[in-house]
Amino acid sequence: MRVTSDGERRRTREGVRSGPPLDEILPAGTSEEAERLRLILEATPNAMVMVDRTGGIVLVNAQAEVLFGTGRADLLRMNVEDLVPRRSRDAHHDYRRRYFADPSARPMGIGRDLYGVRSDGVEVPIEIGLNPITIGEEPFVLASVIDISERLATQTALETLSRDSLRRSILASMPCSVVATDLDGLIVAANPATERLLGYLETELVGQPVGCIYAVDHGRSLRLHASGDERELEYRRRDGSTVAVGEVISPVTDEDGEVTGYLAIGFDITKRLEVQAEVTYLANHDALTGLPNRTTLTKHLVDAIHQAERLGERVALLLLDVDHFKRVNDSLGHHVGDRLLLELAERLVETTGEGDLVARLGGDEFVVVFSGLSELEDVRARVDRIAAALPGAVTVDNREVLATASMGCAVYPDHGSSPAHMLKNADIAMYRAKAAGRNNVRWFNPSMIADGNDKLVLSSALQQALDRGELTVAYQPQVDLGTGRLIGFEALSRWDSPTLGIVPPDRFIPVAEDSGLIAQLGEQVLRQACKDAVVLREEFGIPLRIAVNVSPRQFSRSTWLSEVESALTDAGLDPAALELEITEGVLMDDDHDVHAVLDGLKAIGARIVVDDFGQGYSSLAYLTRFPVDKLKIDREFVRRIATTDADAAVIDAILAMSHALGMTVAAEGVETPEQVLYLRERGCDEAQGFLYGEGVPLVRVHDAVAALVNGRTNR
Ligand code: C2E
Ligand code: MG
Ligand code: MG
């Protein structure tokens, strides 16, 4: 026997941390959850052993060290099957595999006669309670282990004693309450532990019907329960309060084997129930936010769907995914990310009603379930309320962090009939919301699935189109807001496919990005645009600029800078005429050296433009770190001009700061003279939008923009 000396014990018990095994296998960002779990386990009176799907022991508490007579460091190196006798290892192993596949699996072959093996080889009879628990996405099982040797000894001793030979001394020393009755259920004896547990004197109990010790009268049917199985119920104390007990009923027999009465053996299980409640809570809630987790969500959805089916109602599932959460976590740290999640969780709970459920699926995904709705319109109203309640931005450590989410909604029975189906469809819709620029809601629609399949079709058609040079470039005019004069063009990809028809860039650019075709596409557009720019400059006789969009994927390619250089040289275009439109995402990306590429562009002499500004996460202050020449205010802000005061403030702030920093500001999506007036008044420098003209092919540019060459006053 490897006795763990006291000194060693204390050392292992001192720090509650038992890592590293759990930490090693945990997904990033879940260590806080693990830490909380450790503290709770350490405080529980039972031995606790947490096991991963391979059976590896990943977490134990001090009680487990005592029960298994093995130090923590050794336990953490063991497999759970090392803790059971050799003869039951196979059964245990089989059961574990089934349990991880389906935690409701019945323990077969290992349910009874369970033994734990101590490091000295001694077998301890145990009882275990299993709880599935998920940390991050990883499934674990948390076993609470109770040493039942004492209880078994008591039971065995009692079972072999006849009523007449009940010895007061034995009863007196027993830690469990023992109440003996005759065949009619009248109490004939009770031990001191009963007196302590219930507050009665033995003399007060003797002669009473045994029913008086139960909170609910179970007394008459003692015979029915004399099976040796433990049942959980409540005893009523003398003062009227109740206590939870585990009770075993044993028949008492005389020498001839005739049953002469019964023993009710009860033990206080308050502590055990507390642990169970705690563990159940942990298994059903998310540690960070305290919201119900995926397990609870699924149960809730099953019930909600059942009910809706009976009442002919609808259930709506809204899936929210925080925008750019990874960036927040990576660039500002996990504690900022956690605060953001907490804030969002709070808002969601505040905005939802009694019967609604807000759950966290893990990471940056939340789900809201609305039930009891009859019309789709009702669902819409509820979802709109959530969307309106999201804070937009939150301040953590004096930093403004963008707190928006992309949301997908699926409705029972319209879009799915099982929890899994609804989650999947809400997920598809949510990805649509992301693709549509984030911070919005999309409702599931079956065509989305077809579109998903379309992606494959689309990417192979795109590959062909690129090889055959089917893609063209359209040029949209850009004007000086002060004079209304033409100053340049933005090059926009156009694809008129012989098989698919006109495919808009918002559809094929994401496919090109996912399939890696964006590099080829980007280079084609860049080369074409540079060549056409030379033509346009000659034609109009003014030093027009040409803006080309750059995908983050292109930006991260090391060869890209030399592609830009060679496109300029081959076309013979002045580098100062080329504007490269990047998105805020590029600047936020830590994966590659943004500064080096931007400096390279500056060295070439090209201009750097931040496109769609205001959509993403970066603050103006953040932009000052980069050599940005121009900001294009996202067309969504321009669209809302004159309708929302809040956006006016944003536009004012953007203008004031970028001018102070020496950047030019352009407005995208200008469609009305009112917008022009507004923007001009505030000092916005440039504009682009349907008011001045949409993107047209090179051959039509001349006619499309002739009116802009000398400027126009009414625009
Ligand atoms: P973007 O760079 O923000 O381009 C401006 C988009 O706004 C264009 O859509 C343009 O047609 C549209 N637009 C212009 N004026 C107005 C207006 O007054 N009102 C409204 N509602 N919209 C206006 P388009 O051509 O569909 O391009 C969509 C996006 O696709 C572009 O947004 C850009 O991000 C991307 N894209 C287009 N061509 C390329 C390309 O060659 N390479 C890359 N990487 N992305 C491209
Ligand atoms: Mg652009
Ligand atoms: Mg734009």
Claim to verify: residue 242 and residue 385 sit in the same structural domain: no
Last residue of a domain, one of 445, 464, 486: 445
CB 314 less than 6 A from any atom of ligand 1: no
Please give the Cα distance from 90 to 108 (Å, whole number). Answer: 12
Claim to verify: residue 664 and residue 542 sit in the same structural domain: yes
Residue 715 has pLDDT above 50, yes or no: no
The ligand that comes nearest to the alpha carbon of residue 581 is 2
1 falls within a domain: no
**Interval between CA 549 and ligand 2 midpoint (Å):** 5
Residue entry with tokens 């830690």: 175
CB 671 less than 6 A from any atom of ligand 1: yes
Claim to verify: residue 141 and residue 166 sit in the same structural domain: no
Residue whose CA is at the smallest distance from ligand 1 atom 19: 669
592 falls within a domain: yes
467 falls within a domain: yes
Residue 665 has pLDDT above 90, yes or no: yes
Claim to verify: residue 187 and residue 225 sit in the same structural domain: yes
Claim to verify: residue 345 and residue 225 sit in the same structural domain: no
Q: Which two tokens mark 317? A: 């599932």
| All residues at 6 or more sequence positions from 465 whose CB lies less than 8 Å from its CB, including other chains | 471, 495, 497
* Amino acid 15: pLDDT: 40
Instruction: Calculate mean pLDDT across residues 345-358.
Output: 91
Please give the Cα distance from 503 to 495 (Å, whole number). Answer: 6
Instruction: Calculate mean pLDDT across residues 94-120.
Output: 76
Report the residue among 549, 555, 638, 674 best suited for mutation to probe ligand 1: largest number of ligand atoms under 8 A from its CB: 549
Span of 89-98, 466-475, 527-536, 588-597 with lowest mean pLDDT: 588-597
245 falls within a domain: yes
User: Which CATH number is 134's domain given?
Assistant: 3.30.450.20
Residue whose CA is at the smallest distance from ligand 1 atom 30: 505
Claim to verify: residue 70 and residue 40 sit in the same structural domain: yes
Mean pLDDT of the chain: 85
Claim to verify: residue 394 and residue 534 sit in the same structural domain: no
**Interval between CA 492 and ligand 1 midpoint (Å):** 6
When pLDDT is cut at 50, 70 and 90, the band that residue 235 belongs to is very high
Please give the Cα distance from 524 to 490 (Å, whole number). Answer: 15
CB 669 less than 6 A from any atom of ligand 1: yes
**Interval between CA 97 and ligand 2 midpoint (Å):** 53
Percentage of the chain lying above the pLDDT 90 cut = 41
- Most confidently modeled of 154-163, 370-379, 390-399? 370-379
Number of the ligand 1 atom closest to the C-alpha atom of 554: 44
**Interval between CA 669 and ligand 1 midpoint (Å):** 9
Q: How many CA atoms lie within 13 A of 665 on its CB side?
A: 25
Last residue of a domain, one of 147, 167, 191: 147
Claim to verify: residue 226 and residue 306 sit in the same structural domain: no
* Amino acid 328: pLDDT: 81
715 falls within a domain: no
* Amino acid 8: pLDDT: 37
Please give the Cα distance from 307 to 318 (Å, whole number). Answer: 18
Claim to verify: residue 63 and residue 122 sit in the same structural domain: yes
Residue 184 has pLDDT above 60, yes or no: yes
278 falls within a domain: no
Last residue of a domain, one of 147, 165, 183: 147
Q: Which two tokens mark 223? A: 């015979």
Please give the Cα distance from 661 to 512 (Å, whole number). Answer: 35
User: Which CATH number is 615's domain given?
Assistant: 3.20.20.450
Report the residue among 438, 470, 492 best suited for mutation to probe ligand 1: largest number of ligand atoms under 8 A from its CB: 492
Count each helix (H run) and each strand (E run) in the chain, helices first. Answer: 29, 27
* Amino acid 712: pLDDT: 59
Percentage of the chain lying above the pLDDT 70 cut = 88
Instruction: State how far Cα 666 lies from the chain centre.
Output: 38
When pLDDT is cut at 50, 70 and 90, the band that residue 589 belongs to is low
Number of domains into which the chain is organized: 4
Span of 157-166, 354-363, 614-623 with lowest mean pLDDT: 157-166
Claim to verify: residue 375 and residue 363 sit in the same structural domain: yes
279 falls within a domain: no
Nearest to 207 by CA among 235, 185, 240, 176: 185
CB atoms within 10 A of CB 316: 26
Claim to verify: residue 190 and residue 290 sit in the same structural domain: no
296 falls within a domain: yes
Residue 646 has pLDDT above 60, yes or no: no
135 or 143: which leads in pLDDT: 143
CB 568 within 8 A of CB 530: yes
Claim to verify: residue 156 and residue 140 sit in the same structural domain: no
Q: Which long-range contacts (CB under 8 A, 24 or more apart) does 638-643 make?
A: 638/667, 638/668, 638/669, 638/670, 638/671, 638/675, 638/679, 638/689, 639/669, 639/671, 641/674, 641/675, 641/678, 641/679, 642/674, 642/675, 642/678
Number of the ligand 1 atom closest to the C-alpha atom of 550: 44
**Interval between CA 637 and ligand 2 midpoint (Å):** 15
* Amino acid 159: pLDDT: 64
When pLDDT is cut at 50, 70 and 90, the band that residue 579 belongs to is very high
Backbone φ and ψ for 262, nearest 5 degrees, come out as -135, 155
Give the domain range for residue 142: 6-147
| All residues at 6 or more sequence positions from 643 whose CB lies less than 8 Å from its CB, including other chains | none
